[in-house]
Amino acid sequence: FHAMDTLQRNGYDLAKAMSTLVPQGGPVLCRDEMEEWSASEAMLFEEALEKYGKDFNDIRQDFLPWKSLASIVQFYYMWKTTDRYIQQVK
Higher per-residue pLDDT: 82 or 65: 65
Do both 46 and 66 map to the same domain?
A: yes
Please write the tens of the pLDDT for every residue from 29-56: 556 667 788 989 999 999 999 999 999 9
Do both 81 and 37 map to the same domain?
A: yes
Q: What is the DSSP letter of 90?
A: -
Mean per-residue pLDDT for 16-40? 75
Please write the tens of the pLDDT for every residue from 58-80: 999 999 999 999 999 999 988 88
Do both 43 and 8 map to the same domain?
A: no
Do both 37 and 22 map to the same domain?
A: no
Do both 40 and 22 map to the same domain?
A: no
Which domain, by its residues, includes 63? Answer: 33-89
**Measured distance CA(39)–CA(14) in Å, rounded:** 42
Q: What is the pTM of this model?
A: 0.61
Name the domain count of the chain: 2
